[in-house]
Amino acid sequence: MAAQPRTRKWAVRVAAAALAVGCLAAPDVTASPMRPDGDRLAGAQVAREGDQAAGSQIALHEPGQPVAASELQTTGPTVAGMDVSSHQGDVDWQHWWDQGMRFAYVKATEGTDYRNPYYDQQYHGSAAVGMIRGAYHFALPDRSDGATQANHFVDNGGGWSPDGITLPGALDVEYNPYGEDTCYGLTPDAMVEWIRQFAETYQARTGRWPVVYTSTLWWDRCTGLAGDFTDTSPVWVARYAAEIGPLPHRWAVHSIWQHSSAPIDQNVFNGTADDLAALARG
């Protein structure tokens, strides 16, 4: 992990405090998304509507080399985890537990009308083998306001319970997979307001603030360095490299790092197993 301005012990406490605060078929998509430098991606790389995985667009727009957890440059203990969506179908959770995975995030919803058809097997199956797990929502900010999508998320598996094995829900906000406008046609101020509305609605419904999943390049571009969610939401960063690099605007420490998408999305939690359990308990 890149050096931080304060000690790592302080960083873990910040992450813990932040978490403790409180499919319809669609037409074929013919337009290809754009890289930040304006180069058009191949049309074959556009995933089908309603079925995006966490980081699916980050991996396209910010190509990097997936790195094994053992090769990451970190400065303290980490816990291995993973995230899944409908692309994985029924998951062999015992296999991944045997590979060292101890937590999982499962896609629950996307936009306003999609729910992962494999959600129940994935969410409950991960817990059955002993993992701490949570759910995530893939944001489509051009489809509805943040409150509507937060309610859809909570109503379809994205809630939280104080059972010690449930992480707060995560908001996956990244490059637009269904068009050329990277930021969904929203100005930076409008994007910040959309995210804030989602977060506040989720907190009102569940008592917990959501984790924010994103990449530094997308976040800084689409929020215009205007948003500050550090007092409420921990950040889950996608970066496929040995170093985590600069964090999104205002965050001084990450809570989760998605470092690889092969052979499955892999993450490390920034702390010990006890830290992870404490965050789940709220």
- Whether 83 is catalytic: yes
Q: Please report how many Cα atoms fall inside a 13 Å half-sphere around the Cα of residue 76, on the Cβ side.
A: 18
* SS3 call for 171: strand
Reply yes or no on whether 174 is catalytic: yes
Determine which one of 49, 51, 62, 83 is catalytic.
83
**Which residues are within 8 A (CB) of 255 and not within 5 positions of it... i.e. 6 or more apart?**
15, 18, 19, 211, 234, 235, 236, 269, 270, 271, 279
How many CA atoms are closer than 13 Å to the CA of 31, on its beta-carbon side? 10
Q: Give me the catalytic one of 172, 220, 265, 275.
A: 172
Distance of CA 219 to the CA centre of its chain: 12
C-beta of residue 147 within 8 angstroms of C-beta of residue 201:
yes
263 preceded by a cis bond (ω within 30 of 0): yes
Catalytic, out of 174, 220, 265, 275: 174
Residue with tokens 């993973």: 82
3-state per-residue secondary structure call for 26-50: CCCCCCCCECCCCCECCHHHCCCCC
Q: Which residue carries 């191949």 as its tokens?
A: 42
Catalytic residues: 83, 172, 174
